[in-house]
Structure 1
Amino acid sequence: MLEKLIVSKTLRVPVSTGAPGDGAPVARQLDAALLDAGFSASRAVLEHVGALAPGPAMDLAATVVSAVRELVGDHVRHNAYFIGFPDDVPDTVEFWTGRLRAAVLAGGGSATDEQLRSLLGTGGVNLLDLPGYGTYQHTYDELLAAHDAFVAAAGDRLTVLHLGDSAEAEASRLYLALAGGAVPLGEADLAILGELAVACLDGEQPATVPVREHRAVLNGVRLVLGRPLVAVDTTTDVLRLACQVSGGDASLATPTRFRAFRRRERRVLLAALHEIVAASPDKLGDVARHAEPWKRLGERLHPHEYAQWPQAREVFAVARGERRVRNLAGRAEAAVRTGAADRAATVLSAAPGLLLRSADRLLRLAPPAQRAAVVDAVTAALGSASGRVLCSLREHVGNRLAPVSARMYANRSRRAWVGRDERPPLPAELVADLSARLDAEIGARLPQPAHPLLVDPDVLDVALPLSGKAAEGGFAVLPRGSRAPVPGELLRFFTYWRQNSRRTDYDLSVLLLDDDFHTAGQVSWTNYHHDGVVHSGDITDAPNGATEFIDVPLTVGGRYVVPQVYIYAGESFDEVAESMFGYQTRTADQHGTPFDARTVRARSHMRGEGRIALPMVFAKGERGWQAVWLHLYLHGRPAFNRVEDNKFTTADRVRALMERRYLTMAYLIDRWRTRTEVTTWDGRAPDGPVTYIGLEAPDNLPEGSEVYTLDRLTELIPA
């Protein structure tokens, strides 16, 4: 349903085409239902719903409420193992002893406390065998009855929904933004792009599709529906397309099992290959990088049957090793091996993006006599590379004045590992020179706003969204390295999962680190209490869904609070029917059920590779507590992962990320200050139209204003 997708993605309510009438009662019900979920409808939305007939009004209201409840995780029931959580949670060993005593009594025996504790200490007890361990002992309704009504507070989240255009217009706008964006989309948004590509196939199309994975999604739809392909200009574009329509990975990071292609599809793919190679034979140089997928694809396309496209057959000859073609990277590497970094830079000048990604290495390897030539080549490439590459290089250069304590690598699947930083720092004068050149090029590419800039200060600490693959989908989810203030006096983490076909046990844990990133304590299923931090109890089976909570008072000792989700047993994050992580903030006197949508500050999916999820870290600094997004996954063990076994690896990754200086929205705003008027949003309506940049759109901007909120920040990355 397009309407629900649009609300979820843009927080805009599409205009209904339903019959007019008196929908005022429905509008009042909608307003109340949204407030319960921490949302509010703008006056325009309520007026629109109120002007519809009751039937269409109810349909629209139901769609909106369903969409926002799913956004914050309120579409499922979040039960807690201990019905009184956060109160009445027993000591861990006392609880285990009680479960063991219940098992002994059920067998007709008896044992003293000393005997039971001694037995627990031997490690020979399977907790899953104890009566009532790991499964809910009460219903969700009983949990509700055991808690007082939620106490609302002025600081609770309230997210405003705005009225949009028709569903078709909103879908087209979103489609053009996603397809034509300069930033690669994450998995969730790529799926949305695929849906929109079908719905918008006959409408307006983006002028350019700069990201090649986006091209694969669009062309996958076009290939299946018999439409001409667009923007296919390399052999790898064809390979990505074949992976996409086979249900595989268009990024080529993981192997794809190619499906059988219809004869018409084979003709389209082979003709595209023929035209690409005929126009530029050098593009055969990319084939060897993906030789195995090409060989497997050749078995499906049967190129030998199509004599009219001889250049297509050359692609598969290169893949099989029957013809050798040296690519740019190979020629550059040969120059590096002879000590000619300047010649390597000259070779890579034909591929500006590749040259800029190699700039650090070439500058480190270049002798003093060659360094000026490398800098000149890099400078010449700045005008031809994408804005995203320029911003990435600017961030990288800003972190190269000194070695870091640990160098963290994160791949497209958000898997992270840490290594020693053995690179010598770049000279300070070189860093300053490159930074100034990059600043000038990036600033020159920023579009000139039609109106003065009005900036929400909360957006300044958001890291530039240079890749959607470095973040999960969800609600109020920010790019890796972004910081957000944490209000309130109490943090409450929650994780929810629902298994598909076998018993699955996820464990929510918290690791506390001191100023030097040393362990200061932990709370998990093995330790329910520490310094005021409380665990809600261990759930070990989730056929109907399960939730675990951890409360962290913001008076806790330690500098860093690191929530984590461990797969102890069962299905991976990619295999379960549903999994999520989120956090709530509350005041000390706020009570109610463990989960209340009005206090949810952010909720993210958990769909990465690995057996341990590190969604974010909370850091205490001069400005109070801040949430810092990690979006990382650790490999872990196949089963039985515990926080006790990963203290050092977790601390290393947290330290590497916290010490890195990320390029944020404040950087772009500073580039704009030299060209246009920039003011800070203080809640008061401006006198005239503005270009507003913030996390959420306010409700009192003048007509004609342009609004860039969280879902549109990628559009501000220079082209």
Structure 2
Amino acid sequence: MNMNTIYLRRAHKITVNQHTGNGRLADGYLGAAARNLEALGFALSPALFRAVRELPKEDFEVLYEQLVADLKVMVGAHVEYVPMYPGFPEQVMLQQDAILYLNAIYHYYTWDLPVYKGSAEREPLQEQVKLKVIGLGDSEDFCLMIRRLIQAKGSISAADKEDIDAVIAALEPEELEEILPPDIPFKENTAFVISSLLKHNKANLARLGRYFKTATDVLRLAVAWSDGDVSLAAPVRFRKFKRSGRRLLLGLLEQCQPLTEDMLRHKDRWIRLGEILHPSEYKQRYARCEEAWDILRNNKPFTSFNSSVELALKYKQVWNALDLLIKRPGEFARRLDHLLRGTEHTDYVVLAFGEAVEQVSTPVLLQVKNHFSSRLEERELRVFFPKGNVAKVFAVPDTLPVIEAGVCQDIVNICEQALIGRFAELPPLGSAYVDERLKNYHVPFSQRSASKVLHTLVRGSRLPMGEGDTIRFFSWWKEGKVNGVSTGRVDIDLSAVMYDHNWNYVEHISYTNLRSSKYLAHHSGDIVSAPLGASEFIDLHIPSIIEYGGRYVVASLNSFTEQPYCNLPECFTGWMMRKKPGSGEIYEPSAVVNKIDVTADTRIAIPVILDLVERTVIWTDLSLTRDPNYYNNVEGNQKGMVLTGKAMTQLKKPDLYDLFMLHVKARGQLAESPRHADTVFSVEQGLTPFHIEQIMAEYVV
């Protein structure tokens, strides 16, 4: 993979090789190139403009062709869009119901699209699009970006891993020091990075030990080396390791403390791995490993930390539980709510937590602080995101017993003081401006199941819709072969379901209902086969839906033919804002707000939820499990969609405003405006919510 491809997608920057000759691009030539980039919604920064105009014509053409190809993929302009009704939305608005029905029947019987007389003429695009700027970068900044990604204090996405792996493959062994930090805090990331180094024969075996502290760290490496799920949420089929690989894993395991207890957490996996590693062959060299496997295989008695804690909590032996948990502060923090609601001696629990708080990680402290700051708010649901590579959300009724307000505030104060003290050790910020709109953006902790998108965000974050009264969803997919296996016919249905303020169903727009008789909402037509690719669009006129009583819109993709998205050659979705939907082409790259690659191992995707009253887009990027008693369409998944909608709109997570304000309190002074600030935290400038790898590496520390 071209490194500029990664740099462009992640940071909207590219590098340009310096040229010392006297060549200079003709103004007309460069102007034409800039105009073509505008059509895709992008513009060159002044620095990049100056750099490329000094290139020889041949070098510029190579750079430009790759840049355009990459930008087209980023916004979805690399494919052809042929909806059933090319004159959408007017053609659907004006067509008779009988004709819409007959056209659908014709397509279902033949898989061919209807032939229309004449061609729909479209006015030129009348939108004034704000162009996205491509900046001039350099190799040092690129390596820092990848290093920050590796140093993230939370899980990273499949796209992140692809980028890291491509960079490791491209760099020479001596260059890897630029991207490899002395410590990789999040152990899932450790496992992936080291497995990538091993795969590309670039691992410095003498220095691997510094990255592994526990048996689970080593297990994750074995899983990653076997191309499995490093979160350990899914089973894995271990590869057959060579002798050198077996010795490496056993050597790393031998140094871990504690060993047996940690291995018991994943007992069955370790037994399966032991059948491959054959520790008995090396029992003289790795005696602790052999002893641990003997206990696991033969079910010998062993009292673990977790079993002792569970026993103490079961019989409400708070003092015993505290004595145990204070030795493991992270586990203490995760069980804090359970402890407080299970005892009358809350003062002692708070006091003990205060003694252990310095050893609790920043991500956990931020989440504990957020939890107890909203603990007494009335909520219908408690929301959970289960660990794993599929983006699912679970919601259960909130029936937690009440905890005294004073106790909750004490916990919040303890967390805040610990975080401020920790952040105060970092370099000073000077005067800093913190944009209040950052309250709408969540702190990135876990990105393992995040999709590859034009603009990456954290689930539950709320984006302003932008100008325009119509939001246009789009989807594109293709059938064919994946890893030599044919997909067969693929039918992906784009749908939008409207609900009122209380999440009561209002109406839906889908292949079963191409247009609304109540407000302005239209579907471009249902396409049921895609050998050359297929596309569907939905237009929603916001004022007319609000006037009718609608508020929330859940956008969804449903795999009617039941293939999971991970088994398709390509599938993506996204949205545009349009002021005049009839002008320009149906798909205008420059108007794309975001584009999402849908690759999950599931058959239903919910990319976003709209709050039309607040004019915000709630970033969800979720998967929904199908109800087996219904066809996989929007009607058959109403219960799950309502629950998902309620969960995401009621979600309470740590936000970036609170995080950055803690940093300012610790190491800066608050500025009233960006103009008077040395450091800017904002939505459009300075450090933004889209700088996820920098936030995870340098601010969640």
TM over 0.5: yes
The Cα shift of 1:138 comes to: 6.5
How much has 1:538 moved relative to structure 2?
Answer: 0.7
Cα distance in 1 for partners of 2:689, 2:625 equals: 36
TM-score, normalising length: structure 2: 0.89
Deviation at 1:709, TM superposition (A): 4.9
- Tell whether the 8 Å contact from 1:235 to 1:287 is kept in structure 2 after alignment: yes
TM-score norm. by structure 1 comes to 0.87
Residues 54 and 244 of structure 1: is their aligned pair in 2 closer, same or farther, counting only changes over 3 Å? Answer: same
Query: Distance in 2 between the 1:313 and 1:385 partners?
Result: 32
Query: What's 2:174 paired with?
Result: 202
Tell me the equivalent position of 1:303. Answer: 279
Contact 2:350 2:410 in 1 (8 A): no
- After superposition, give the CA deviation of every residue in 1:296-316 in whole Å (9 maximum; x if it has no partner): 211221212113212122332
Partner of 1:480: 459
Equivalences for residues 326-405 of structure 1 within 5 A:
326-365=303-342, 367-369=343-345, 371-405=346-380
Distance change >3 Å, CA 345–CA 153, structure 1 → 2: same
Q: Does 1:43 align with 2:13?
A: no
Q: Distance in 1 between matches of 2:104 and 2:152?
A: 58
Structure 2 CA distance for aligned equivalents of residues 222 and 326 of structure 1: 37
Instruction: Render the CA deviation track for 1:225-260: whole Å, top value 9, x for unaligned.
Output: 252124111111111111111111111111111111
1:596 aligned partner? 588
In 1, Cα distance between equivalents of 2:409 and 2:74: 43
Structure-2 residue corresponding to 1:660: 651
Distance 1:149 1:679 in 2: 47
| CA–CA distance in structure 2, aligned partners of residues 423 and 430 of structure 1 | 15
Maintained 8 Å contact 1:390/1:442: yes
2:385 is the counterpart of 1:407:
no
Report the CA distance between 1:665 and its aligned residue: 1.4
Q: Secondary structure at the match of 1:610?
A: coil
- Counterpart of 1:649 in structure 2 is 640
Backbone CA RMSD of aligned residues:
2.6
Contact 2:520 2:541 in 1 (8 A): yes
Q: Give the 3-state SS of the residue equivalent to 1:332 in structure 2.
A: helix
Alignment partner of 1:550 is 2:532: no
Identity %: 26
CA contact (8 A) 2:103 2:114 kept: no
Q: Which residue of 2 aligns with 1:164?
A: 137
Could you tell me how far apart the structure 1 residues matched to 2:534 and 2:435 are? 37
Aligned pairs for 1:35-434 (under 5 A) are 35-89=38-92, 94-95=98-99, 97-99=101-103, 128=108, 130-132=109-111, 135-137=112-114, 146-148=120-122, 150-154=124-128, 156-166=129-139, 169-200=140-171, 201-203=173-175, 204=177, 205-224=180-199, 225=201, 227-228=204-205, 229=208, 230-276=210-256, 280=257, 282-307=258-283, 308-365=285-342, 367-369=343-345, 371-412=346-387, 413-434=390-411
Secondary structure (helix, strand or coil) at the match of 1:218 reads helix
Q: 2:11 corresponds to which residue? A: 10
AA paired with 2:265?
R
Closer, same or farther in 2 for the Cα pair 1:470/1:456, shift >3 Å?
farther
Whether contact under 8 Å (2:367, 2:653) holds in the other structure is no
Alignment partner of 1:520: what SS? strand
Instruction: Verify the 8 A CA contact 2:474 2:575 in the aligned structure 1.
Output: yes
Task: Provide the secondary structure at the position in 1 that maps to 2:501.
Answer: coil
2:152 and 2:185 in contact (8 A); partners too:
yes
- Out of 693, 705, 712, the residue aligned to residue 681 of structure 2 is 693
Aligned equivalents of 2:513, 2:690: Cα separation in 1: 41
Paired amino acid for 2:623: Y
Residue 691 of structure 1 contacts residue 707 of structure 1 at CA under 8 Å; is this kept in 2?
no
Unpaired segments ≥5 residues, structure 1: 103-126, 699-705
Question: Among 514, 517, 529, which residue is 2:515 paired with?
Answer: 529
For the residue of structure 2 that corresponds to 1:475, the secondary structure is coil
Moved more, 1-10 or 605-614: 605-614
- Which one-letter code corresponds to 1:9 in the other structure? R
Distance 1:568 1:656 in 2: 25
* Secondary structure of the corresponding residue to residue 534 of structure 1: strand
| 3-state SS of paired residue (1:23) | coil
Q: Distance in 1 between matches of 2:396 and 2:688?
A: 41
Shift of 1:608: 2.6
Deviations 1:462-500 (A, max 9, x none): 111121136322112321111111121110111222224
| Match of residue 22, structure 1, among 18, 21, 24 | 24
Helix, strand or coil for the counterpart of 1:453? strand
Distance in 1 between the 2:281 and 2:259 partners? 23
Q: Secondary structure at the match of 1:529?
A: coil
Which residue in 2 is equivalent to 1:124?
none
Cα 1:300–1:92, aligned 2, differ >3 Å: closer, same or farther? farther
1:615 to 585, 607, 619: 607
Moved more, 262-271 or 171-180: 171-180
C-alpha separation in 2, matches of 1:464 and 1:313: 42
- Distance in 1 of aligned mates of 2:304 and 2:124: 64
CA positional deviation for 1:534: 0.5
Moved more, 169-178 or 89-98: 89-98
Per-residue CA shift, 1:19-70, capped at 9, x if unaligned?
A: 6422345533432222111111101101101011112222222222222222
TM-aligned CA distance change 1:679 to 1:475, over 3 Å: farther
**How many matched pairs?**
667
Shift of 1:670: 2.8
**Aligned-partner Cα distance in 1 for 2:44–2:100:** 48
Query: Does the C-alpha gap of structure 1 residues 697 and 360 become closer, same or farther in structure 2, counting only changes over 3 Å?
Result: same
Cα distance in 1, alignment partners of residues 105 and 237 from structure 2: 53
* Deviates most, 38-47 or 537-546: 537-546
Residue identity in the other structure for 1:35: E
Structure 1 residue 185: deviation in Å?
0.7
* 1:189 positional shift: 0.8
Match of 2:644, as an amino acid? R
Q: How does 1:703-714 map to 2 (within 5 A)?
A: 709-711=690-692, 712-714=694-696
